[in-house]
Amino acid sequence: MRVLCLIEADSGGVADVSLRALTFARSLADAQTAAGAVPVAGRESWLHEKAPSGVPNGATTPPGSGAGAAGEADGTDGAGEVIAVVFGGADAVPVGELSAYGVSDAYAIESPHLGGYAPQAWARALAGLAAELPAGAVVAAGTDHGGEVMAHVGAITGLPVVANCVSAGPAGAGTLRLVRQRWAGSLLEDAVLEASPALLTVAVDAVAPAEADAPVATTVQSYRPEFADADLVVRAAESAERSTGVSLATARVVVGGGRGVGGPDGFRVLEELAGLLGGVLGVSRVVTSEGWRPHKQQVGQTGTRISPELYLACGISGAIQHMAGCQSAKHIVAVNTDPDAPIIGHADYAVIGDLNQVIPALIAAIRARRAGA
């Protein structure tokens, strides 16, 4: 299958989330259609079913007409090919990394109209390229940018978008069998997608980045899309403000506080401990809903996702909504008065006790240890 993958860049080249998306795209591209698979009955009837009024129908969708023909026509058959899409000049394409991740072709999307991020314009370019190649699938990382751009691609083409996929493989012409996250990863859905191209975002924490067995020669080409005026109405201006200091998302140590902290004053001791460990404070949703701490410190499904070496969760019960934000932590240690709290079922280690006794004693012990060293 020919799979198109949206690349997000950062200062170091390809962003980690996009390396994960590339790994996912490669496994999808290389997966062979199950032997003897036949087009799934009903596919054609679905394709020609009228979409609800007000939503554009799948104008670019080729009619499914038998396994071979459909495969050739829509990029779902043949050898696996991963094609990267990078917004910016051809000279800025990170060829080395793309090559290592098995990308055969990279398209640099260049336009005098594009300065920075413009979700609808990016989607227009991606949808145009997917139709011209054609591609059997279009994949992006399940980030705010990736999810937003793919939603626009879905709206432009009238096709479904499957958010936060964990795995996907072909189950017949124009048909994928896939697993995706619900409830931010607390639940998995097994599903079948009948649409071409398949539009997917990849759950940010589900696929580990892995290079291809052998590097592939990557050909870089330019693609100049046509935009309608409406595509360019929404464009991001980056503010000069960059957050300084250790950020919650990237901190090596996070000290968490929840309802058990008891009130806005109780966080001072947790901040002191975080400072000692070179980390930052994170809190549960109840803490921000009560206004005890600002929302930007929330760890969880509706806050920040963290992936520290150590998450020390103090007075946190361990609701689904919270655990969704810290499940990527390497080690979770809980301090909780309740040995039956849900967090005990998610943590690696636990201290049963009142954080107001445990944490000051821990701070004292760390200070004593450092003084003695």
Partner 1 sequence: MEVLVCVKRVPMVGGRIVVTADGQDVDTRMSGFTVSPHEECAVEEAVRLVERFGGRVTVLTLGPPAAADQLRDMLALGASRAVLLESDGREWGPIATAGAIVDAMRGAASAPSAPAAPAPSAPAAPAPSAPAAPAASAPPAPAAPAASAPPAPGCPYDLLLFGNEAADTGDYQVGVRVAHALGLPCVTGIKNLEVADDGASARARREYRGTEEVFDIPLPAVVSVKEGINLPRYPSLPGRLRAKRATIEQQVPPWHPEGLRKEGLRVPAGESKRAEILGHGADAVPALVALLNEFGVLS
Show contacts with partner 1 in window 206-245 (CB under 8 A): 230, 233-239, 241-243
With respect to partner 1, which residue has the nearer C-beta, 155 or 220? 155
Token pair in block for residue 48? 């020609």
When binding is defined by CB under 8 A, the residue of 32, 34, 38, 46 that contacts partner 1 is 46
201 near partner 1, judged by CB under 8 A: yes
When binding is defined by CB under 8 A, the residue of 73, 133, 220, 320 that contacts partner 1 is 320
48 near partner 1, judged by CB under 8 A: no
* Element containing residue 249 per DSSP (H, E): none
295 near partner 1, judged by CB under 8 A: yes
When binding is defined by CB under 8 A, the residue of 247, 264, 268, 275 that contacts partner 1 is 247
317 near partner 1, judged by CB under 8 A: yes
**Cα 315 to the chain's mean position, in Å?**
29
| Least distance to partner 1, CB of residue 67, Å | 18
252 near partner 1, judged by CB under 8 A: yes
Q: How many CB atoms lie within 10 A of CB 281?
A: 22
With respect to partner 1, which residue has the nearer C-beta, 69 or 358? 358
What DSSP string describes 304-355? B----SEEEEES----HHHHHHHTT-SEEEEEES-TTSGGGGT-SEEEES-H
| Least distance to partner 1, CB of residue 136, Å | 14
d(CA 326, CA 364): 27
**3-class SS of residue 365:** helix
With respect to partner 1, which residue has the nearer C-beta, 104 or 317? 317
Q: How many CB atoms lie within 10 A of CB 118?
A: 22
Residue of 84, 195, 74 lying closest to 136 (CA atoms):
74
With respect to partner 1, which residue has the nearer C-beta, 92 or 236? 236
Work out the burial of residue 368: count CB atoms within 10 Å of its CB; fewer than 13 is exposed, 13-18 middle, 19 or more buried. Answer: exposed
With respect to partner 1, which residue has the nearer C-beta, 102 or 146? 146
For partner 1, the binding residues in 104-123 under the rule CB under 8 A are: 117, 119-120
Which segment (24-32, 87-95, 103-111, 318-326) binds partner 1 by CB under 8 A?
Answer: 318-326
329 near partner 1, judged by CB under 8 A: no
Residue 291 makes CB contacts below 8 A (sequence gap 6+) with: 264
147 near partner 1, judged by CB under 8 A: yes
| Least distance to partner 1, CB of residue 345, Å | 6
d(CA 214, CA 199): 27
Total length of the chain: 373
- Contact in structure between 26 and 1 (CB atoms under 8 Å): no
Residue of 22, 25, 82, 58 lying closest to 154 (CA atoms):
58
34 near partner 1, judged by CB under 8 A: no
When binding is defined by CB under 8 A, the residue of 63, 66, 96, 278 that contacts partner 1 is 278
Which segment (31-39, 99-107, 129-137, 190-198) binds partner 1 by CB under 8 A?
Answer: 190-198
When binding is defined by CB under 8 A, the residue of 189, 211, 271, 272 that contacts partner 1 is 189
With respect to partner 1, which residue has the nearer C-beta, 23 or 321? 321
With respect to partner 1, which residue has the nearer C-beta, 268 or 331? 331
Amino acid at 356: N
92 near partner 1, judged by CB under 8 A: no
Residue of 181, 161, 157 lying closest to 58 (CA atoms):
157
With respect to partner 1, which residue has the nearer C-beta, 110 or 189? 189
173 near partner 1, judged by CB under 8 A: no
Number of residues that bind partner 1 (CB under 8 A): 109
**3-class SS of residue 298:** strand
372 near partner 1, judged by CB under 8 A: no
When binding is defined by CB under 8 A, the residue of 18, 167, 284, 298 that contacts partner 1 is 298
Token pair in block for residue 16? 């980690």
Instruction: Report CA-CA distances (Å) from 270 to 151, 220, 274, 361.
Output: 40, 50, 6, 12
Rg (alpha carbons) of the chain, rounded to whole number: 24
